Structure 1
Amino acid sequence: MTASGLRAVIFDVDGTLAETERDGHRRAFNRAFRDHGLPYEWGVPEYGRLLAVTGGRRRLAGYLAGQGVPDSEPLARELHRTKTAHYTAWLHDGPLLARPGVPELLAELHERGVPVAVATTGRRAWVTVLLARLFGDVTFAAVITGDDVSRLKPDPEVYQLALHELGIGARDAVAVEDSPPGLAAATAAGLCCLVVTSAYHRHLPFPGAAAVVPGYQRGDMVDSDGPLAAGVTVDALRRLHSAAYSR
């Protein structure tokens, strides 16, 4: 069975379009702890381990339960609201940059007539701010966030909804992710998935990925002679997509 052609590219946000976890989300969580008078602070390595749990509120609830906090869910909800406010403020005014090569890839996808979409389980309140600040001139054919789904990654619901909004099948698109839960969500939805590893996930295994690369640009492709050797381009994505369904 062959691929029907690349008709869309669906991107995750955190870590995929921009490196936001360490200096954005992590610091916002720590400010929320201080605002609520709590003695916790997530260091850089610890936060990397906590990212195994998707969804900030779920991450907080699990962490608080591990600290012996009884009935941690209500406190996790309060903390997450505070954290989201701090993170959204950082997205407006903080030192935020797209990952190198992403703006050029999005521009090329537009020029070549390939729709782009977003499938993230982050909150819409901050996702829209990030997209507007970094990619204000990009038209996204669909933006699916955690507000639109009942189950977070690694569940495939967010990708299934994105495909529905795009009006295409899983074999018509490529997903771009940076983490194991994101890869699991994409492949469970039937998508060919390119992993562009982010800072926290550089050395993790990614079974089932169509390809795993450390960045989007040609100079990132150390010792690579595959379809992405010249970087992540539209032609490279088409070749990767085609190869995924001819194996």
Structure 2
Amino acid sequence: MALEALLFDVDGTLADTEKDGHRVAFNLAFEEAGLDWHWDEELYGELLAVTGGKERIKYYLDQFNTDFEKPENFDDFVKGLHAAKTAHYTRLLGEGRIPLRPGVERLINEAREAGLRLAIATTTTPENVTALLENTLGSESIEWFEVIAAGDIVPAKKPAPDIYTWAMEQMAVAPEQCLAFEDSENGIRSSSAANLATLVTINDYTREHDFSDAALVLDHLGEPDQPFTVLAGDAGDHTYVTVDLLKDLHQRAVG
């Protein structure tokens, strides 16, 4: 079965959004709310065990800040913090402080020229996706993605496969027609459970994760003058990810 669609995770995959984007925005939201919480890089790495910003705040309070007295309207409190964080994150994007990872823009353009269908499958909010795409690829880039599956559109977030399953249902495609892009263990568990062949590009937070189910693991997608490093799998003679390499990976994965 031929490759027809590419499904992209966002945070850590399209851009290194976590350490210098979401983490910074969370801390700004906490400060704005008069809270003395601060998520340093090490702590944030532990909090990334949980996907979803609101879920991450709750996990922090349950596991790392158990003395905090939760207000009666706790869910609304968390939603308010997360909304403030999203506003700060959008501002950081608008200031150009969160660029795309190497090879992302080039590969997306090549995929469009080759007639491949594109989709997003992420636990981050739709607002965060829109802000990232508009501030890196331009406002018209939103239309490049046939489906943007994001945030709370499904109740069970990664590592559950639901977000990928929902995206494929909207596109009316089977897993055998698709290739997913991820950066984390929760991500590969989600895509694998959805029966998707997956290409992984690691980041500083995920380099020690288990990617044994990935079709290929790289440090980044690469550019002609910035070759990738293969961490697991076989990229043949390729030094940066092209549509031809994706078709080869897909063929090997689905037979």
TM-score normalised by structure 1 residue count: 0.92
Residue deviations 1:43-87 (CA, integer Å, cap 9, x gap): 112111110110111110111123122447433222212111111
Q: What residue in structure 2 maps to residue 85 of structure 1?
A: 87
- Following superposition, the deviation at residue 128 of structure 1 comes to 0.9
Give 2:17's aligned amino acid. T
Contact 1:124 1:147 in 2 (8 A): no
- Following superposition, the deviation at residue 135 of structure 1 comes to 2.1
The root-mean-square deviation of aligned C-alpha atoms, in Å, is 1.8
Q: What residue in structure 1 maps to residue 44 of structure 2?
A: 47
- Following superposition, the deviation at residue 105 of structure 1 comes to 0.3
Q: For 1:18, which of 6, 15, 18 is the aligned residue?
A: 15
Residue 98 of structure 1: SS of its match in structure 2?
coil
Aligned-partner Cα distance in 2 for 1:177–1:149: 18
- Following superposition, the deviation at residue 224 of structure 1 comes to 7.9
Aligned-partner Cα distance in 1 for 2:161–2:84: 28
Q: For 1:35, which of 32, 40, 51 is the aligned residue?
A: 32
Gaps of 5+ in 2: none
Residue deviations 1:185-225 (CA, integer Å, cap 9, x gap): 11111111111112211222212111111111161225888
- Following superposition, the deviation at residue 152 of structure 1 comes to 0.9
Q: Identity across aligned pairs (percent)? A: 40
Aligned-partner Cα distance in 2 for 1:222–1:106: 20
Q: For 1:226, which of 226, 234, 248 is the aligned residue?
A: 234
Aligned-partner Cα distance in 2 for 1:135–1:10: 17
Give 1:26's aligned amino acid. R
Contact 2:219 2:231 in 1 (8 A): no
Give 1:227's aligned amino acid. A
Contact 1:19 1:199 in 2 (8 A): no
Residue 18 of structure 1: SS of its match in structure 2?
coil
Gaps of 5+ in 1: none
TM-score normalised by structure 2 residue count: 0.89
Q: What residue in structure 2 maps to residue 211 of structure 1?
A: 216
User: Given the superposition, is the C-alpha separation of residues 223 and 24 from structure 1 closer, same or farther in structure 2, using an over 3 Å criterion?
Assistant: closer
Aligned-partner Cα distance in 1 for 2:232–2:51: 31
Residue deviations 1:110-161 (CA, integer Å, cap 9, x gap): 1111111111111112211111221225411211111322111111111011
Q: For 1:243, which of 221, 233, 252 is the aligned residue?
A: 252
Q: What residue in structure 1 maps to residue 194 of structure 2?
A: 189
